[in-house]
Chains A and B, each alone.
Chain A
Amino acid sequence: MAVIRIAVIRIIDVCAWGLRFLGAAALVFMALSVFYDTMMRYLFLAPTSWSLEINSILVAAIAFIPAAHVLRERQQLRIGLIQDQLTGIPARVVATLIGLCGMAFCVVLTWRGGMIAYDAWLYGERMSTVLGTPKVLPYSLIPIGFGALGLAFLANTLEVLAGVERREDGAPL
């Protein structure tokens, strides 16, 4: 069992790390492309047709895509006043409860978000802009991001149930 658990957690972490990498790339692209678009408009009267649209979508990407990795690193903003005082069984009960809530929340968003992305694909919906991005692309960020986030909650919960008290860096679970 332990082997399977460790393997599952490992796979989740690799996926989360990959998504985080994409998020970092999105952030760098955002800074550079907005600068580029502005300069092209000012100097050459040749702004891009895509900067506004793509970078708006990237804000959502930056929020969703790295979320799983941030959660695995226990870096999502939380108020740990009570939880951090707990040890033993109460600590595990609370951590498991949060993990289950997290998974339930992510299941709803992944499922419903997936259906919305599917509809946008089925009816060929597009943004009414020059670029006309098919809406299925941005809407897919919802199931991808929250799907990974749900798996990160699963990995956290598996660790709690297996009795891992502290992470390697000493942070509470």
Chain B
Amino acid sequence: MIEPLIALGTLLGLIALGAPVFLALGGAGLLGLYMARGEMALFLAPTSVFGQLNSFEMIALPLFILMGFLLSETPVGRDIFHVASVWLNRIRGGLAISSVGACTLFGAVSGVSIAGVASVGKLAVPEMMKRGYSANLAAGSVATAGAIAMLIPPSVPFIVYSAMSGVSVSSLFIGGLIPGLAIAFALSFYIYLRCRLRPDEAPSVEQTVDWRARLLSLGRIWHVVFLVVLVVGTIYSGLATPTEASSFGVIGAAAIAGVVYRVLTLEKLIEIVWNSLRVSATILLIIGCAKIFGDYLNLIRIPQMLASTATSVALPPELVMLLVMLVLIALGTVIDGFSLIVVTTPFLLPIVTTLGYDPLWFGIVLVMNLEIAVVTPPVGLNLYTLKGVVPELSMEQVIASALPFVAIQFLVLLVFVLFPGLSLWLPGLL
């Protein structure tokens, strides 16, 4: 059993040295294939990379990314935040809760976490600090809530997990809704309590707003509502399949950016397409190369081995899952979200299913782990994104601000781990 350890060591060694993640996965997989079956097995690498990606369902990944990038060029994030703040102005800490709400709503039109952080954070954090909110409250609420976009459909991480596990994207999208909203509520409730206990973190009364102004403000977010209705509506009415609906999201987002906000110059458009292509290509190449490593694991029957180990270990399944969560959170501090899915799923899924858990449920709690991974240092994409759009904050400040929110996310995660039914009942209805 020395060979699998060499392959695993190569994978982790290359990742630790700073090699591109696709190279670590592909290189370790290639080495493993060669050790297991000799030269001929090397032919599996090109067919597997190609076969893994040559899939119509996968087009949703670049298209939902493109949709998010198109929208983050518009002031949609600002507008959503304004509306939320008008509705919540009577509550102490209302603006921070508003930014959670804005990130959640933005999540309904974006598949990745950074688009929401950038779009909402750019305006909301400076605005809160100007009105006397503590920097910790302002930054922490946006950095963590931005990640909710990965649970609220559409979600790129769910598409990646679907490619790794075979669980249907539609079920995952529906299954992510409840946990996504649960985290949003938990974060809001935490902000509310925190502002009550430490009133110096948020100013008490803000300007009064009458109901007419509140209702009128809704006119500023009709675009987002329109886009959500467009994407969901095309699926529900049978016009398009869930995959095809992603193209409606792109066209709708382009119309909002180009016609409604008029921010789409040719230069801007090229920049958006290039950024979307870069992010998509990066993720897709990792998914493809992960299949080489996955081939190696399959070839030597690692999934079956892990499954039989899982049955022979005499621990309660709940305890095993808690350990799995702790490992994921530990890995999530140093590994970015997408790599976390592709590196761990081949090992964890056989264990999870052997213990009698639903692969759909595991996908959901895995993405809940991603929510934590993107805001934990040292590798936390949301932290760096927020720092990027709010330069006046120091990196240390951003990191410190996120930590208490991470604790809340962890509590919510625990609840969903211990009670799988909470996330499974909604997909089960459909």
The residues of A with any CB-CB pair to B shorter than 8 Å are: 20, 23-24, 27-28, 30-32, 34-35, 37-38, 42, 52, 55-60, 62-67, 70-71, 73, 75-84, 94, 97-98, 101-102, 104-105, 108-109, 112-113, 115-116, 138-139, 141-142, 146
Cross-chain contact A64 with B251 (CB below 8 angstroms): no
Asked if B56 is at the interface of the complex by the 8 Å CB criterion, the answer is: yes
> Would you give the 0/1 interface string for B97-137, flagging 1 where the beta carbon is closer than 8 Å to chain A?
00000000000000000000000000000000000000000
Give the shortest distance, in Å, between A147 (CB) and chain B (any CB).
12
Cross-chain contact B277 with A59 (CB below 8 angstroms): no
Contacts A35-B248, A105-B27; is A66 near B278 (CB within 8 Å)?
yes
Cross-chain contact B244 with A38 (CB below 8 angstroms): yes
- Give which listed residue, B63, B248, B281, B335, contacts A63 with CB less than 8 A: B281
Asked if B174 is at the interface of the complex by the 8 Å CB criterion, the answer is: no
Cα distance A125–B188 when bound, in Å?
58
Give the shortest distance, in Å, between B396 (CB) and chain A (any CB).
17
Cross-chain contact A108 with B21 (CB below 8 angstroms): no
- Give which listed residue, A34, A94, A142, contacts B59 with CB less than 8 A: A34
Cross-chain contact A98 with B46 (CB below 8 angstroms): no
Cross-chain contact A38 with B247 (CB below 8 angstroms): yes
- Give which listed residue, A20, A55, A67, A73, contacts B56 with CB less than 8 A: A55
Count, chain B residues at interface, CB 8 A: 62
Asked if B276 is at the interface of the complex by the 8 Å CB criterion, the answer is: yes
Contacts A81-B378, A113-B46; is A97 near B17 (CB within 8 Å)?
yes
Contacts A38-B247, A75-B278, A112-B46; is A94 near B18 (CB within 8 Å)?
yes
Known: A81-B16, A98-B20. 4 other contacts (CB 8 A): A30-B63, A70-B281, A81-B334, A138-B50
Interface CB pairs A-B, < 8 A, 20: A31-B63, A32-B247, A38-B240, A52-B56, A56-B58, A58-B59, A60-B50, A63-B281, A77-B339, A78-B18, A78-B19, A79-B18, A79-B334, A94-B17, A101-B27, A102-B23, A104-B27, A108-B30, A109-B26, A116-B46
B-chain residues with CB within 8 Å of residue A81 when the two chains form the complex: 16, 18, 334, 378-379
Cα distance A65–B281 when bound, in Å?
8
Cross-chain contact A102 with B239 (CB below 8 angstroms): no
Cross-chain contact A112 with B42 (CB below 8 angstroms): yes
A-chain residues with CB within 8 Å of residue B54 when the two chains form the complex: 56-57, 59-60, 138
Cα distance A113–B239 when bound, in Å?
38
Q: Which of B77-85, B284-292, B354-362, B417-425 contacts A (4 or more CB under 8 A)?
A: B284-292
Cross-chain contact B63 with A83 (CB below 8 angstroms): no
Cross-chain contact A77 with B21 (CB below 8 angstroms): yes
Cross-chain contact B43 with A116 (CB below 8 angstroms): yes
Contacts A82-B18, A98-B19; is A66 near B281 (CB within 8 Å)?
yes
Cα distance A58–B280 when bound, in Å?
12
Cross-chain contact B45 with A108 (CB below 8 angstroms): yes
Asked if B336 is at the interface of the complex by the 8 Å CB criterion, the answer is: yes
* Residue among A75, A83, A108, A113 having the largest count of chain B Cβ atoms under 10 Å: A108
Cross-chain contact B62 with A62 (CB below 8 angstroms): yes
> Would you give the 0/1 interface string for B24-46, flagging 1 where the beta carbon is closer than 8 Å to chain A?
00110010000000000011011
Contacts A31-B66, A62-B62, A98-B14; is A77 near B286 (CB within 8 Å)?
yes
Give the shortest distance, in Å, between A127 (CB) and chain B (any CB).
10
The residues of B with any CB-CB pair to A shorter than 8 Å are: 14-23, 26-27, 30, 42-43, 45-47, 49-50, 53-56, 58-59, 61-63, 66, 234, 239-240, 243-244, 246-248, 250-251, 270, 273-274, 276-278, 280-288, 334-336, 338-339, 378-379
Cα distance A59–B45 when bound, in Å?
17
B-chain residues with CB within 8 Å of residue A104 when the two chains form the complex: 27
A-chain residues with CB within 8 Å of residue B17 when the two chains form the complex: 82-83, 94, 97-98
Cα distance A133–B19 when bound, in Å?
36
Cross-chain contact A23 with B277 (CB below 8 angstroms): yes
A-chain residues with CB within 8 Å of residue B240 when the two chains form the complex: 38, 42
Cα distance A108–B32 when bound, in Å?
14
Cross-chain contact A101 with B18 (CB below 8 angstroms): no
* Residue among A32, A101, A104 having the largest count of chain B Cβ atoms under 10 Å: A101
B-chain residues with CB within 8 Å of residue A75 when the two chains form the complex: 278, 282
Cross-chain contact A105 with B247 (CB below 8 angstroms): no
Cα distance A108–B29 when bound, in Å?
12
Give the shortest distance, in Å, between A80 (CB) and chain B (any CB).
5
Q: Closest B residue to A21 by CB, please name it.
A: B274
Give the shortest distance, in Å, between A37 (CB) and chain B (any CB).
8
Cross-chain contact A34 with B21 (CB below 8 angstroms): no
Q: Closest A residue to B19 by CB, please name it.
A: A98
Give the shortest distance, in Å, between B257 (CB) and chain A (any CB).
13
Give the shortest distance, in Å, between A57 (CB) and chain B (any CB).
6
Cross-chain contact A105 with B62 (CB below 8 angstroms): no
Cross-chain contact B273 with A60 (CB below 8 angstroms): no
Cα distance A113–B30 when bound, in Å?
13
Cross-chain contact B50 with A139 (CB below 8 angstroms): yes
Cross-chain contact B59 with A70 (CB below 8 angstroms): no
Cross-chain contact B46 with A62 (CB below 8 angstroms): no
Cross-chain contact A70 with B378 (CB below 8 angstroms): no
